[in-house]
């Protein structure tokens, strides 16, 4: 959401910072070359595997983008860190799971539901996935508005307090979800009409079709958000509100309504992400904090408030995770279990050079 600004003369601090940037950039460039070289060697070794892993990384990045874009939208506009973003993700997923199991399961005759919902042989039509998806995302959007209006609207500007309030919500929601949905992992089912696995040319092994769907949804989300921000009046007001909230208010525009709308969109995206992730990965306690941390990492890398940054951050995170999981081996040494650690190393590396993320701006 970069806004056009008149260039202004650079201060001494900025000039010094940019000089620091260039040494940092040199170091980063060197690391990037090493990484590229290592990937090329691995690709040359087994190209099919490389393609499979890359596509898996891209689709994982797509999921991360959907979730993180909502997070960064809320922050960019309202300076609110919504720590409950991951909880909305998980709750949205659970709601979709429940809806699917209770409304749409077409069971072959004679199936006795013994313990809870039996996922055994049920079949699902396309609606059985799409309708729960939309309802769950909408529900999360509305919940987001509720949270914003009751708990966050009146302390706008007190960022720390808002962060603490949303942390309290995380604690409560996590416990309640555990109580109501249990601890066992849940899996949202794809429509039976979809192929389970698709063959991609050049790849060894198949790719889950759902991952392609997720990729498509992410592209759609990205395009829609970009269009909304650049082309619509709402987006225009949003951008103006980011720059100067008081002036926008003085111009008679209903800023609280804009904020509510933005929070709705952010929470909607979290819920949407939850359904996608619940289908592609799984739903279980712990996913809420995992996805919150993921969003955090993506947004730290990409820069808070920047949609393009969220895309770049998501790509970086998804690819690093995928490549590290497969290729972090040097001869006989297997370091693949350090994949998660590497992603955090990435965060530190980016921050050391650009304290506000790649495309972020100081507050």
Partner 1 sequence: MTSVRTGRLSPAAWAGVSLTLIVLLLAPVIFSDFFYGVLLTRALWLGLVAMSVIFLASYGGMVSLAQVGLFGVAGFTMANLVAADGGLPAEIDPWLAVIAGLVAAVVVGLIFGAIAARSEGIYFLMITLAFGVMVFYFFGQVTQLSGHGGVNNIEVPSIIGDRVTDPAPLYYICLGVSAIAFLGVRYLARTPFGLSLQGIRDDPTRMRALGYHVTLHRMVAFGFAALIAAAAGILSVWYNRRIGPGSVNLGEVIDVLVIAVIGGLYRLQGAWVGAVAFVLLDNYSRSWTPDIGTVLGPDRFNTLLGLIFLAIVLVSPGGLVGLWERARDWLRAQFGRQAARDGPGGPPRAGPGGEEGDPGPVAAADRPTA
Partner 2 sequence: MTERNQRRRWRKVLLVAALVPLVALFIGACGGDDDNGDDEAAENGEASSEPVRIGFLSTCEGAFGAFYEPTAGGFNVPLINRGATAVSEVPTDGIEGGEIAGRPIEVVGYGCSDETPDVAVEEARRLVEQEDADVLIGPLSGDEGIAIANYAKEQPDKTFINGASGAQDTTLHVQAPNFFRFHTDGAQWSAGVGDYAHNELGWDTAVTIGDDYSFPYTSVGGFIADFCGVGGDVVERLWPPLGESDYTSFIAQIPDNVDGIYVGIGGEGLIAFIQQYLDQKGQINPDEMIGNLFVDDPLVLEEIGNRVIGVTTSGNTAGDSTDPEVEEYVAQIDAVYPEVAELAASVFVYHYYTAVEAMAQAIEEVDGNLEDADAFHEALSNIELSGVDAAYGDVTLDENRQAISDNYIKQVVEGPDGPTVQTIARIPGVEQSFGGVFTSETPPPDRQNPPCEEVDLPWEGQSEPVDFSE
Distance from C-alpha of 58 to C-alpha of 212, rounded to nearest angstrom: 10
Q: Where are the beta strands (DSSP E) in the chain?
A: 197-199, 206-208, 329-330, 333-334
The only residue of 339, 349, 353, 358 in contact with partner 2, by rule CB under 8 A: 339
* Tokens of residue 106, six digits: 């077409």
Q: H or E element: which one contains 208?
A: strand 206-208
DSSP 8-state assignment for residue 154: G
For position 196 contacting partner 1 by CB under 8 A, the verdict is no
Task: Give which of partner 2, partner 1, none residue 271 binds (C-beta under 5 to 8 Å, depending on kind).
Answer: none
By CB under 8 A, what part of segment 232-291 binds partner 1? 289
Applying CB under 8 A, which of residues 160, 246, 252, 331 lies at the interface with partner 1? 160
How far apart are the C-alpha atoms of 4 and 206, rounded to whole Å?
A: 44
295 binds partner 2 (CB under 8 A): no
CB of 65 to partner 2, least distance (A): 15
Count of residues that bind partner 2 according to CB under 8 A:
52
In the complex with partner 2, which residue's Cβ is closer, 182 or 355? 182
Distance CA 19, CA 25 (A): 10
| 83, 295 Cβ separation under 8 angstroms | no
Which of 77, 258, 300, 307 binds partner 1 (CB under 8 A)? It is 300
Q: Which residue has the tokens 């202004």?
A: 8
Q: Which helix (H) or strand (E) holds 199?
A: strand 197-199
Bridge-partner residues for 186, per DSSP?
283
Q: Which does 160 bind (CB under 5 to 8 A by kind): partner 2, partner 1, none?
A: partner 1
- Show Cβ contacts of residue 91 under 8 Å, excluding neighbours closer than 6 positions: 140, 143, 173, 177, 271, 274
Tokens of 196: 């389970």
Task: Yes or no: say if 146 and 270 are a contact pair by the CB < 8 Å rule.
Answer: no
Cβ-contact 297, 100 below 8 angstroms? no
Q: How many residues bind partner 1 (CB under 8 A)?
A: 44
> Of partner 2, partner 1, none, which one sits near residue 300, judging by CB under 5 to 8 A according to partner kind?
partner 1
Cβ count within 10 A of residue 345 = 13
What DSSP string describes 26-67? Answer: HHHHHHHHHHHHHHHHHHHH-HHHHHHHHHHHHHHHHHHHHH
Q: Stretches 86-94, 152-160, 262-270, 285-293: which one binds partner 2 (CB under 8 A)?
A: 285-293
Distance CA 73, CA 239 (A): 11
- Determine which residue in the list 1, 58, 60, 350 makes contact with partner 2, applying CB under 8 A: 60
**Closer CB to partner 2, 177 or 265, in the complex:** 177
d(CA 84, CA 92): 12
351 lines the binding site for partner 1 (CB under 8 A):
yes
The window from 34-42, 54-62, 159-167, 222-230 that contacts partner 1 (CB under 8 A) reads 159-167
Residue 196 touches partner 2, criterion: CB under 8 A: yes
**Residue 179 near partner 1 by CB under 8 A:** yes
Among 80, 87, 306, 321, binds partner 2 (CB under 8 A): 321
- Interface residue list for partner 2 (CB under 8 A): 49, 52-53, 56-57, 60, 111-112, 114-121, 178, 182-187, 196-197, 204-211, 281-282, 284-287, 290, 321-326, 334, 336-340
- Interface residue list for partner 1 (CB under 8 A): 75, 79, 81, 151, 157-161, 163-165, 167-172, 174-176, 179-180, 289, 293, 296-297, 299-300, 304, 337-338, 340-341, 344-345, 347-348, 351-352, 355-356, 362-363
């Amino acid at each position: 959401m970069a806004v056009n600004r008149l260039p202004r003369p650079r201060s001494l601090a900025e000039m010094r910072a940019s000089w620091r940037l260039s040494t940092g950039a040199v170091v980063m460039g060197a690391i990037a070359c090493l990484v590229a070289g290592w990937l090329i060697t691995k690709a040359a070794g087994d190209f099919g595997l490389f393609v499979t892993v890359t596509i898996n990384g891209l689709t994982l990045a797509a999921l991360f983008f959907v979730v993180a874009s909502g997070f960064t939208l809320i922050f960019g506009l309202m300076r609110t860190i919504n720590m409950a973003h991951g909880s909305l993700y998980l709750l949205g997923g659970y709601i979709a799971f429940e809806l699917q199991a209770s409304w749409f399961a077409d069971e072959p005759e004679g199936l006795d539901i013994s313990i809870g919902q039996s996922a055994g042989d049920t079949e699902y039509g396309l609606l059985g996935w799409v309708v729960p998806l939309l309802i769950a995302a909408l529900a999360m959007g509305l919940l987001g508005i509720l949270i914003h209006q009751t708990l966050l609207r009146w302390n706008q500007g007190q960022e720390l307090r808002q962060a603490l309030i949303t942390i309290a919500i995380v604690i409560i929601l996590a416990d309640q979800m555990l109580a109501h949905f249990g601890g066992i992992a849940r899996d949202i089912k794809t429509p039976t009409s979809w192929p389970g696995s698709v063959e991609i040319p050049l790849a060894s092994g198949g790719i889950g079709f759902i991952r392609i769907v997720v990729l498509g949804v992410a592209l759609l989300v990205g395009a829609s958000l970009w269009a909304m921000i650049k082309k619509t009046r709402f987006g225009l007001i949003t951008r103006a509100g980011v720059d100067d909230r008081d002036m926008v208010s003085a111009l008679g525009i209903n800023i609280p309504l804009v904020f509510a709308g933005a929070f709705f969109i952010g929470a909607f995206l979290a819920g949407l992400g939850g359904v996608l992730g619940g289908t592609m990965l799984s739903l279980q306690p712990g996913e809420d904090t995992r996805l919150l941390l993921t969003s955090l990492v993506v947004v730290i890398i990409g820069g808070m408030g920047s949609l393009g940054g969220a895309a770049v951050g998501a790509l970086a995170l998804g690819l690093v995770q995928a490549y590290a999981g497969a290729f972090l081996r040097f001869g006989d040494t297997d370091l693949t279990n350090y994949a998660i650690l590497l992603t955090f190393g990435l965060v530190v590396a980016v921050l050391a050079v650009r304290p506000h993320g790649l495309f972020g701006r100081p507050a």
